[in-house]
Amino acid sequence: MKKEWIAGALLAVLLGGAVYNIHYMDKLAQTLIGSVEHSRAQMDTGDYAGAEASLRGAIDLWMGSDGYTHIFIRHPEIDSATDAFYELLSDVVSRDNDAAVGSFEKVEAHLTSIAGMEHITIGSIL
């Protein structure tokens, strides 16, 4: 009976860890998307310096989260999102509003996708 209790406790810890992981990634992604959207709004109003500052803040948060992301997220996803951030930064710094539209959407899509991959689905269980 003792082994069953230990196994049950281990399963509970694993489930708790999975729930915390989902919550943490959702929170991180929403914070990053909020900063990116803020940067986009600033760029739309012509505040390029503010847009760059907001975006650099998001990039700093993304890069500063590598202790978490490099453990729980696949490396190709991390690389792809990082590349998207820096492509967007290039568009913002060069004040290329037309190119930035797609780059903003690309970063947001990457972050949404990464957060979605962490969610438990029937397909991921079976």
- The rounded distance, in Å, linking the Cα atoms of 13 and 8 is 9
Note the pLDDT of residue 124. Answer: 63
Note the pLDDT of residue 126. Answer: 63
Q: Which CATH architecture is the domain 23-125 placed in?
A: Up-down Bundle (1.20)
How confident is the prediction along the chain (126 residues), in pLDDT tens digits per residue? 788 889 888 999 988 888 888 899 999 999 999 999 999 999 999 999 999 999 999 999 999 998 888 888 899 999 999 999 999 999 999 998 989 999 999 999 999 999 888 777 676 666
In contact, 73 and 114? CB cutoff 8 Å: yes
Note the pLDDT of residue 2. Answer: 84
Note the pLDDT of residue 118. Answer: 78
Note the pLDDT of residue 117. Answer: 84
> For the whole model, what pTM was predicted?
0.84
